[in-house]
Structure 1
Amino acid sequence: MRQFSTEWTPDQIRDFGRKPLLLRHGHAENPLFADDALARLIEATPRSHFHVNTIDRDETDPRKWREGDMSGLSGLDVMAAVARGNIWVHLQRVHETSSAYRVFLDDLFADIERNVPGFRSYRRSMSVLISSPNMNVALHADVPGQSLWQVRGRKRVWVYPPQPPYLPQEKIEAIVLQRSGDTDLPYDPSYEAGAESFELEPGDWATWPRNAPHRVRNADCVNVSFTTEHWTDELRAGYAVDYANGLLRPLFRGADLSRETRGPAFMAKFAVAAAHKGWRRLAGRTHMPVTVDFRVDPRAAQGFADVAPHQIMK
């Protein structure tokens, strides 16, 4: 078994998944993240499995996050656009695209589970991020458990508590229900007083509690990172409660409902969420429209050119 992370401290073991943490890993030089491997991965990733985004470098409103396209371009052209421009390439579920990344992902979580007694994960996922110098990644909140692993370059991450005002309850419910995107969050400069911030260098990785809003700014260098997502029974229970609360909110005149994950009320909400998710799958309502308004262009100053807005389902 390969060793992925350095020795954990007792505090890190106790706080994993419950507090923002900065740890170390041993894969900054892994050939899976070399330029040639990344170029091949870009070319192999289907349209359904990638996002390309941009936002002005000084923009703080996460709703200004824009979606683009890179279909048909060579991996080297995309990487050239990243190096000279202002774009963020997100290759999703790379473990489904390449068996090498699937083995890597399985080994990585086996290592975490060996180091953190009682931690058992499933439905794991891995994404690769290739982003421009000084790229500003909008404030957003993810649904599963998540970690960010730095491979190349440097970036700063700000993590905010997963509670109001940083994360209003109705916002995470809408994200869970796919009624809004993960960047549809309020932001105010006063939030910085409540943030924890990490400077990530090659070999660092950060993790935080479920749904904790976070934003990222790259240093003046190309960045290569990867993210991992996972589920546990505890995370699944929290997801089910948020899902059901979102469905029930109109019946309770918009009031926040309990997020408790034990007891009869929780079991009823779990059943409501499961039934509704089953109906959505049968009805084919598991995707949401995304507006695309630019295309990656390695010749353009920002690494992309605007195109007529059009919608795709993601």
Structure 2
Amino acid sequence: MADQVWEPISNLFPPHPAVDPNVGAKTNLSFIPRVQLAEASKADFGVRPMVAQHNLHESDMFSDAALIDLLDRFPRKNLYALTMGTDPTRAEENRLALNEGVSGADLLRAVKKGRFWLNITRVDRADGGYRQLIDELYAQLAAQIPGFAPDFSQGSLIISSPHALVYYHADAPASVLWHIRGRKRVWVYPALDERYMTREVLEDIHAGVRHEYLSYEKSYDDGAIVYELEPGQWTAWAQNAPHRVTNLDSVNVSLSTEHFTAQSRWRARVYTANRFLRVRFGLRNLSAREQGAGAIAKTVIHRLAAKVGLDPAQVKRHIPTLRVDADAPGGVVPLGEPCVASKVGN
């Protein structure tokens, strides 16, 4: 396998929206990413949890120097710093920290000494190299997985502290986690199983009216599949499967990508329509069946209602209570407090 010549095949997909010209696409893709997927795993993709290999950890795109450069260029309105506690059942301890005015070097220094993660959202819109990278990753997936035909993809780069955790949650889109630096443990729970997440909660997630965090009990772990990811591995699971993550003993870097297909978009429409009918008309326990005349009728009703303003968009957001300070012991200070360097200077 090492002697095989890999050529880009991302021209299988139509072009994505242009990189934001106000940011400046500095990075050019200087290596050919490689996605390795065993024959036996191809049928598992998007259906059940699985792990396979990639070579992103061999690229200098993810070195400290490259990450600092990216952080310095990235629009801070789309960069989120989130702290957490140590108990995976207490998602309310997840807190947003402002990062405006903090240099890329200090952000990375704070991650290394603190307990939080940086979510560099839609990194592909800010850097052309990441857009090329994601296109190539999905082109190689599509070439290896029969019937897989995403029509859109996007990605966020996640830089996180040693022992940081991501609380139990479910994402609306289908996704892939490409692990690049450090080691992390991932728990994946059964998808569309009301023992782990109710249908109404999933409706709210698809409608965008609540955070993805879910109520979690440690007994859920009895039904989880657990992986310890090393650099050079990627993992995927069924759309909407609940999952949680804990870093092990080092800084972690991962690329989280989301992809959209006709099937995944249709699921989102059905669940969003069910929520509208539940909230607006009190219709509960509607079928989540994604095929048939009933599903079509519900989505048409919801689309028409949204057009006339009967279902206004609602987005749940974190409210910042902290500020990143690389000189503070945990890398953050409460809002309103002077930074540690200022205290020392006085």
**TM-score of the pair, normalised by structure 1:** 0.92
| Cα drift, residue 156 of structure 1 | 0.2
| 2:4 corresponds to | none
2:209–2:315 contact (8 Å) kept in structure 1: no
| 1:306 corresponds to | 334
| 1:4 corresponds to | 34
> In structure 2, do the counterparts of structure 1 residues 49 and 280 end up closer, same or farther at CA, with 3 Å as the change threshold?
farther
Summarize the alignment of residues 12-91 of structure 1 with structure 2, pairs less than 5 Å apart: 12-91=41-120
**Aligned pair partner of 1:166 in 196, 213, 216:** 196
| Cα drift, residue 65 of structure 1 | 1.6
2:71–2:104 contact (8 Å) kept in structure 1: yes
Amino acid in the other structure paired with 2:102: L
> In structure 2, do the counterparts of structure 1 residues 277 and 197 end up closer, same or farther at CA, with 3 Å as the change threshold?
farther
**Aligned pair partner of 2:324 in 277, 283, 296:** 296
Q: Please tell me whether Structure 1 or Structure 2 has the larger radius of gyration of its CA atoms.
A: 2
**Which SS does the other structure have where 1:181 is aligned?**
coil
Structure 1 position 249 matched with structure 2 position 278:
yes
Amino acid in the other structure paired with 2:188: V
Cα RMSD over matched residues?
2.1
| Cα drift, residue 59 of structure 1 | 4.0
Summarize the alignment of residues 203-242 of structure 1 with structure 2, pairs less than 5 Å apart: 203-242=232-271
**Aligned pair partner of 2:211 in 181, 185, 194:** 181
| 1:107 corresponds to | 136
* Distance in 2 (alpha carbons) for counterparts of 1:102 and 1:180: 28
Q: Which moved more, 1:191-200 or 1:61-70?
A: 61-70
**Aligned pair partner of 1:195 in 198, 216, 224:** 224
* Distance in 2 (alpha carbons) for counterparts of 1:99 and 1:126: 12
| Cα drift, residue 34 of structure 1 | 1.2
* Distance in 1 (alpha carbons) for counterparts of 2:72 and 2:314: 26
Q: Which moved more, 1:235-244 or 1:269-278?
A: 269-278
| 1:117 corresponds to | 146
2:89–2:215 contact (8 Å) kept in structure 1: no
Amino acid in the other structure paired with 2:209: R
**TM-score of the pair, normalised by structure 2:** 0.84
**Which SS does the other structure have where 1:56 is aligned?**
coil
> In structure 2, do the counterparts of structure 1 residues 71 and 58 end up closer, same or farther at CA, with 3 Å as the change threshold?
same
* Distance in 2 (alpha carbons) for counterparts of 1:154 and 1:33: 15
- In structure 1, runs of 5+ residues without a counterpart are 310-314
| Cα drift, residue 251 of structure 1 | 5.6
Q: Which moved more, 1:54-63 or 1:245-254?
A: 245-254
Amino acid in the other structure paired with 2:65: D
Deviations 1:254-308 (Å, cap 9, x if unpaired)? 622111111111111222343455567996x464442111111111111111115
**Which SS does the other structure have where 2:43 is aligned?**
helix
**Which SS does the other structure have where 1:290 is aligned?**
coil
1:280–1:286 contact (8 Å) kept in structure 2: no
* Distance in 2 (alpha carbons) for counterparts of 1:186 and 1:277: 29
* Distance in 2 (alpha carbons) for counterparts of 1:133 and 1:250: 41
* Distance in 1 (alpha carbons) for counterparts of 2:129 and 2:144: 23
| 1:312 corresponds to | none
> In structure 2, do the counterparts of structure 1 residues 152 and 172 end up closer, same or farther at CA, with 3 Å as the change threshold?
same
1:8–1:115 contact (8 Å) kept in structure 2: no
Q: Which moved more, 1:249-258 or 1:101-110?
A: 249-258
| Cα drift, residue 33 of structure 1 | 1.0
| Cα drift, residue 8 of structure 1 | 2.3
* Distance in 1 (alpha carbons) for counterparts of 2:302 and 2:57: 40
* Distance in 1 (alpha carbons) for counterparts of 2:110 and 2:280: 49
Structure 1 position 264 matched with structure 2 position 293:
yes
Amino acid in the other structure paired with 1:119: F
Amino acid in the other structure paired with 2:323: R
| Cα drift, residue 23 of structure 1 | 0.8
1:293–1:308 contact (8 Å) kept in structure 2: no
